[in-house]
Amino acid sequence: MKITAIEAIPFRIPYLKPLKFASGEVHVADHVLVRVRTDDGVVGVAEAPPRPFTYGETQRGIIAVIETIFAPQVLGLELTDREQIAALLGRTVGNPTAKAAIDMAVWDALGRTLGLPVSVLLGGFTDRMRVSHMLGFDRPEAMVEEAQRMREVHGITTFKVKVGRRPASLDVAVVRALREGLGPDVVLYVDGNRGWTASESARSMRQMADLDLAFAEELCPADDVLGRRWLVQQLDVPFIADESATTPAEVTREVLGGSATAVSIKTARTGFTGSQRVLHLAEGLGLEVVMGNQIDGQLGSICTVAFGAAHQRSSLHAGELSNFLDMSDDLLTEPLRIEDGALAVRPGPGLGVEIDEDKLRHYRTDT
C-alpha cells in the first residue's frame, strides 16, 4: 500500500457546446489525469479541471505543482496515511484541484486495494443521486429547449440556471421562460458566479419572486462584505456559497458573517478528505448542501456521485452531475449513463471505473 509514483497527464477533449457563465467560459476540457501507483501494482485515478477564473490554476501549473512539490512529499507514504497526505499538501497555499485529485486518486487506490467501493468506505448511505443539470448562457428559447431535452432523454427535473449578466433582465427573462416552458414541477435555482452587485441581485430576485426558485448561489462577490450580508438577509431562499467558501474556515467565516446560508461541495476542489470536513461542518452549522459541478468530465462526475451518495446530507438535493454530456468524448472504458434522472455509483472497487488507454493515448497532449 506504499505510494511509489504520482503521474500528472494533460489531456484535451473539446466540448460539443461551450458552457458560458458570468466569470468565464469553457470550450475545451484541458484537464489533468492524476494516477497514483503503489508498490502492490495498484493504480488510483482522478482528474483535476483547471479553472483559472475561479482558483487561478492552469493545466501547466497543476502539473508543475504535482511534479515538483506534491509528489516528492507524498512518495513513500501509505495509502492509509490520508491525514499525513492532507497535512503535507496543506502546507502549500491554493492549488485546490491539484490537491483534490491526489486525494481522490489515493482513495481510489485504497478502495481497489481493499476490494471495496470508495462510496462505501466514505459512508455508503445510498447508491445513486438525482441529477441537476447546469444551463449556461444562451438565448431563452435555446435554454428551454436544452432543459426539455434533458428531461425527455435523461429524466432530469432539476436545473441550475446561470445568471449574472448585464442587463439583468436578460437572465430574468430566461428563468421566466424556463418556468413557463417546463411547468411547476421542475426545481429551478440560479447561480450568478459573482456577476451582479448586491443591489442588482436583490432587484432580480424580487423580479423572480413568483418563479418558485429553490436556491440562489454566489449572485454577488463575497468580498462586497456588507452588500452581500444585506442581500442574503432579505432572501427567502437559501443562499449557496460556492467559490467563496471552499474550505471549512471559509465556510465558517461566510456563514457566521451572514453572507451564506447553504454550501456547495465540489470534490474537484476539496477531494474526498476535505469534502468530508466541509460536510461535517455543514451538519454542525445546519446548512443545506448541494453537490456542485466544477465542469467535470466523467471521472470527476463519478467522484462527485461517490461522495454525494455516501452521506445523507449530500444526497438530499440533486447533484450537478450532467455537464459531461456536452463533451465530445471522454476517457472511461464504460461511459456514465444518467437514467431516470439519476446517476448511480459504480459498484466495483475504488471508483469502479477504468481509463481507456487508447483514448488516453489519443487525447493526452504530452506525447
Q: Which residues are catalytic?
A: 162, 191, 217, 242, 266, 294
Q: Which of residues 31, 35, 51, 311 is near ligand MUC by CB under 6 A?
A: 51
Any contact of residue 294 with ligand MUC (CB under 6 A)? yes
Of the listed pieces 196-204, 270-278, 286-294, 355-363, which binds ligand MUC according to CB under 6 A?
286-294
Q: What is the footprint of Mg ion within residues 178-217 (CB under 5 A)?
A: 191, 217
List the one residue out of 94, 92, 81, 76 whose CA is nearest residue 37. 76
Q: State which residue, 116 or 170, has the beta carbon closest to ligand MUC.
A: 170
d(CA 238, CA 289): 10
Query: Could you tell me the smallest distance in angstroms from the CB atom of residue 38 to ligand MUC?
Result: 32
Q: State which residue, 179 or 194, has the beta carbon closest to Mg ion.
A: 194
Query: Could you tell me the smallest distance in angstroms from the CB atom of residue 354 to ligand MUC?
Result: 27
Query: Could you tell me the smallest distance in angstroms from the CB atom of residue 332 to ligand MUC?
Result: 21
Measured in Å, how far apart are the chain's first and last C-alpha atoms? 29
d(CA 92, CA 98): 11
Binding mask 53-92 for ligand MUC (x = CB under 6 A): -x--------------------------------------
d(CA 325, CA 79): 32
Any contact of residue 293 with ligand MUC (CB under 6 A)? yes
d(CA 352, CA 362): 22
> Exposed, middle or buried, 259 (CB in 10 Å: 0-12/13-18/19+)?
buried
Of the listed pieces 93-101, 142-150, 172-180, 291-299, which binds ligand MUC according to CB under 6 A?
291-299
Q: Cβ of 351: how many Cβ atoms within 10 Å?
A: 27
- Total of residues contacting Mg ion (CB under 5 A): 3
Q: What is the DSSP string of 88-116?
A: HHTTS-S-HHHHHHHHHHHHHHHHHHHTS
Any contact of residue 108 with Mg ion (CB under 5 A)? no
Instruction: Give the total residue count for the chain.
Output: 367
Return the sign of the alpha-carbon dihedral for residues 135, 240, 268, 334: negative
Any contact of residue 21 with ligand MUC (CB under 6 A)? yes
Query: Could you tell me the smallest distance in angstroms from the CB atom of residue 290 to ligand MUC?
Result: 9
Cell of 103: 486525494
Return the sign of the alpha-carbon dihedral for residues 241, 245, 247, 248: negative
Q: State which residue, 38 or 298, has the beta carbon closest to ligand MUC.
A: 298
Residue nearest to Mg ion according to CB distances in the complex: 242
Q: Which of residues 30, 103, 200, 242 is near Mg ion by CB under 5 A?
A: 242
Of the listed pieces 6-14, 82-90, 151-159, 287-295, which binds ligand MUC according to CB under 6 A?
287-295
Q: Which does 113 bind (CB under 5 to 8 A by kind): Mg ion, ligand MUC, none?
A: none
Q: What is the footprint of ligand MUC within residues 145-204 (CB under 6 A)?
A: 191, 193
d(CA 28, CA 220): 27
Query: Could you tell me the smallest distance in angstroms from the CB atom of residue 197 to ligand MUC?
Result: 18
CA 323 to chain centre: 10
Query: Could you tell me the smallest distance in angstroms from the CB atom of residue 260 to ligand MUC?
Result: 14
Binding mask 237-266 for ligand MUC (x = CB under 6 A): -----xx-----------------------
d(CA 338, CA 363): 24
How large is the C-alpha radius of gyration of the chain? 20
In b/e form, how buried is each residue of 271-307, taking b as 16+ CB within 10 angstroms?
bbbbbbebbebbeeeebebbbbbbbbbbbbbbbbbbb
Any contact of residue 292 with ligand MUC (CB under 6 A)? yes
Q: State which residue, 117 or 271, has the beta carbon closest to ligand MUC.
A: 271
- Total of residues contacting ligand MUC (CB under 6 A): 12
Applying CB under 6 A, the residues found at the interface with ligand MUC are: 21, 23, 51, 54, 191, 193, 242-243, 292-295
Applying CB under 5 A, the residues found at the interface with Mg ion are: 191, 217, 242
